[in-house]
Structure formats: C-alpha cells, structure tokens
Amino acid sequence: MKLKLLSVLCAVALSACSLDPAYQRPAAPVDSAWPTGTAYETGASAASAASAATAPAAPFAADVGWRDYFKDPRLQKLIALALDNNRDLRVAALQVAEYEAQYRITRAALAPTIDAGGSITNTRSDGAISHSNTASVGTTSWEIDFFGRLRSLKRQALENYLSSDASRTSTQLTLVADVATDFLQLQSDEALLKVATDTVAADQSTYDLTVSMMKIGSASLQDVREAQTSLASARASMASYTRAVAQDRNTLSAEIGCALPDDLSSGPTLLDSDAMFADVDAGAPSDLLTRRPDIIEAEHTLKGANANIGAARAAFFPKIELTASAGAASTSLSQLFKASTGAWSFAPSITMPIFDYGSNKASLDVAKIEKDIDIADYEKAIQTAFKEVANALAGRATYVDQVAADRDYVQSAQDYYDLAQARYKTGTDSFLTVLTAQRTLYTAQEQLVTDQLAKLSNQVTLYKVLGGGWSAESVQAGTATGEKTGAQTGTQTQAQTAAR
C-alpha cells in the first residue's frame, strides 16, 4: 500500500504543472543589416571589390579559432600563455564551477532525501526501568513539487550556471583581444622608438654639420641653436618611447602571468604586419544573438528571471511535504530485528499561505520587475554589439586608405628632407628649410606608425566584437588556413551537457 501511494505521488510530482511564463526571445532592437555607405567601402577597398567577389567567401569570425586568425607565432605563444596563467580567467572558471555546484544543490531538492539511523532510550519511572530500541533504515523527507516551484528554481539555477559559463567565455575572448592589442602596442612603441632613434642620429649629424659650417662662416649661431633644439626634442622623444616599450613589456608579462618569451622582439615589425590576420566575414546582425558571449550571457540571465517568476507564482499555492520511515522497534536490543518488530510511519503535511501581509505578491512583483530589467539589459547588449561591429566595419574600410596615404606622405617627406639637406649643404637653401623638412618627416613617420597600429587594432576589435577568439580551433575545415579541422561545441552545449 505504501509503495503504491509513493508511486502515485511520484507520478503526480513528475507531471506537475509549471507556472513559468512562456519564454519568447525579445525582438532585436537593431537593423537587419549592417550600415552601408562611403565609410564602409572606400578607395583601396572599392578597388579590390571585384577580385574579392570572385574569391571564396571568408568564414564568419566566431567560426575561426584564434590560432587560425592570429598568424604571428609570437602572438600565438603569448595568447596560449595567457590562457594558461591569467588570474582573471582563472577566477572566471572558478565562478562557473561555483554556479555549477549551486545548480546541483537546487536540482537535488527535487528528489527525496533518505537517511538511516537508530536510537536506544532508557527511562525510569517509579522505580521501574523501561527500554526502547529503534532502527530506521528508510527515513524519507520530500517536498512534492505539485506546482513546479522547485523545478522553476532548478531552471533558474541552470540559467545562472549557463550565464556564468558565457561570462567566462566573454572573459576569455576579452583576454585574447587584450593580449593581441597590447602586443601591437609594444610593436608600435618599438617602431616609434626606432623612428626617434633614427631622428636623433639624423639631428646629431645635422647639428655637427651646422657647427662645422658656422666655423667657416656658412651658417649662423641661430642655425646652430635651432639644430640643437631639434636634437634635444628628438632625444626627449627617444627617452619617452624607451619608457613606453618597457611599460608595454610589463603589461604583457602581467597578462600572460609569466616572463615574456625571448624572441618577442624578433620577426616582422608593425609596418610589415599587414598579413598578420586572417580574413573574416561579419555575417548578419542576427548571427550575434547566438554567437557573441555577452549576448548569450544576457539571454540566460533573462531566462533565469523568467523561471524565477514561476517560482514566485508557485509560492501562492499549498506546499506539500511527505515524511515517512520504515524500520524496527523493540524493548530489547537482541530482539530488534526479529519477527513482529517492524515499524513504519507516514506523515504527509500541507502548508497553505493564508495571510502574509502581501509578501508573496510583493515577491512576484519583484520577479516581474527584475525580468523587465533583464529584458532591457539584453536589448542594450544587442545594441552595443551592433554599434561596436558597425564601428569596426567602418574602420576596416577606411584605415586601409588612411595607411596607404600615410605611406605616400612618408615617402614625399623623405624626398623633401633629402632635397633640403642637399640644397643646404650647397648653400642654396637656409637651415630653416632643413629644419622644417626634418619635422615634417618625423611627423609623417609617427603618423604612419600610429595609423598602422589603429588599423591592426581595429582588426582585432572586429574579430572580438563578432564573437571570435574564445576557441583555439576553427569550427570547419578550411575556414582560415585550409588545413585545420576544428572541434568547437559551443558554450551552451558544453554547459548544458555538464548540467544534466
């Protein structure tokens, strides 16, 4: 009879209703396509459009592992070290483990708890001593989830776990992008240091020449002072970039959690790094909803708030608990497990909320408001992602033209400087012309390095904002190198499998 009753209760509990609202993903509050216009296809970008149209389509960024996207072996080594040693990523992984454990605690509340125990009781009354011995091998305590409160809490805990796992993925993606950006910053400052060093050498040569010319009456003291001023300014820039390089190396060392590799400054320079990244496609705005970790995180948070409403609704209904036990009882310990000593108890209880001064209603209101907040946060995450991708796409098109113009500017400034130097040595032009040419060349070289850094950093940003960078391997064979076959299962799939 007891087993039949328990079976019925189990069946009822498993088929209990859910009071969660039906979840519907909010509509994306952005356009269905990326912006178009002059900023997105200009100059060199437009010139290469015809050849690009006949080339194989580039893979979507989120499908390209960071090892395939970042082609520089030095950068690959830095990223691998960061993923192994970075403390922020380690904390994020531990937080995921914490939420996973919390989910298991919540899930366990759905099942009965069964304990075993025993007791010996001796009492004396009016000179008489009585003995009582019991052994319980099946004490059960169980809240029967008729109205789905526990299952709603379980779903909320699962969504919190999945959200934390997406947050870890987002942290990893950010770390990969930060390491790449800081590596480029180091290369930029090294390039600027070389420009400053070369300028110091050129200014020193000009200063020495001016002093010699003054001694023979071909230059004035003013020319010498102007040359000296230019040399001092270049030396100050050299000291500044020397400091910047040292600080960049310290930043990278902190990110990777260990000493920097010895070969970090060897290999291509910043100005030789145009082929440093693989080509990727931006896809459509809708692709971001299922591929970008921060949006995935926001949606899991929203789903958790949706489940919390179900738990708050269930609090209005009765709470049914079952306590049962089976075992043996005897006045003699030696007779405890003999025939006719069996004992059992069955004690169902029900708790009905009658008057709570509006506490349950207020809790439900809070749950609904929190869901509305999470909807707004989810929509904001989508809008932010759309803006970031659109800005990066505009940068990808325009930086190509800007750097190309910078290279022409440097070449023209170099020709101008060489001509001014030659004319000054023959006495055709004044030193002011040489000084102007020197400053023009230095400015042009600095601008080229600065814009090249912006161009390459924008490519890192585009890869990041499209959701790429959290996986080491590409999803499909040939997506980036034409040789690798990746193994990417996705954040949600991994976490949901672990949560079963």
Q: What are the sequence ranges of the domains in the chain? A: 20-110+147-316+358-499
- Check: CB of residue 183 under 8 Å from CB of residue 75: yes
User: What is the rounded CA–CA span in Å between residue 6 and residue 322?
Assistant: 10
Q: What's the mean pLDDT in 298-320?
A: 87
DSSP 8-state secondary structure symbol assigned to residue 478: T
Confidence at residue 125, expressed as pLDDT on a 0 to 100 scale: 57
Q: What angle do CA 323, 324, 327 make, to 5 degrees?
A: 145
Confidence at residue 14, expressed as pLDDT on a 0 to 100 scale: 47
User: What is the rounded CA–CA span in Å between residue 223 and residue 210?
Assistant: 7
Confidence at residue 342, expressed as pLDDT on a 0 to 100 scale: 55
pLDDT band at 43 (very low <50, low <70, confident <90, very high): low
The backbone torsions φ and ψ at residue 61, rounded to the nearest 5 degrees and listed phi first, read -55, -40
pLDDT at 8 over 60: no
Q: Comparing 499 with 73, which gets the higher pLDDT? A: 73
pLDDT at 124 over 60: no
Q: Comparing 190 with 136, which gets the higher pLDDT? A: 190
Total Cβ atoms within 10 A of residue 464: 24
- Between the two ends of the chain, the Cα-to-Cα distance in Å is 33
Instruction: Quote the percentage of the chain above a pLDDT of 70.
Output: 78
- Average pLDDT, rounded, for the chain: 81
Beta bridge partners of 143: 321
Instruction: Quote the percentage of the chain above a pLDDT of 90.
Output: 38
pLDDT at 194 over 80: yes
Beta bridge partners of 348: 322
- How far CA 55 is from CA of 48, 102, 166, 279, 398, in Å, comes to 11, 50, 34, 11, 21
User: What is the rounded CA–CA span in Å between residue 335 and residue 322?
Assistant: 30
CA 152, 157, 163, 169 torsion-angle sign: negative
Cα–Cα nearest to 395, from 491, 469, 461, 324:
461
pLDDT at 499 over 60: no
pLDDT band at 126 (very low <50, low <70, confident <90, very high): low
Element (H, E) at 489: none
Residues with Cβ within 8 Å of 151's Cβ and at least 6 positions away in sequence, in order, are 16, 18, 110, 145
Superfamily the domain 20-110+147-316+358-499 falls into: Outer membrane efflux proteins (OEP) (1.20.1600.10)
Q: What's the mean pLDDT in 438-444?
A: 93
User: What is the rounded CA–CA span in Å between residue 304 and residue 373?
Assistant: 12
Q: Comparing 419 with 353, which gets the higher pLDDT? A: 419
pLDDT at 252 over 90: yes
Mean pLDDT lowest among 34-43, 292-301, 308-317: 34-43
Confidence at residue 447, expressed as pLDDT on a 0 to 100 scale: 96
- The radius of gyration of the chain from alpha carbons, rounded to an integer in Å, stands at 36
Write down the residue that tokens 């939420």 correspond to: 99
Q: Comparing 329 with 252, which gets the higher pLDDT? A: 252
Confidence at residue 137, expressed as pLDDT on a 0 to 100 scale: 54
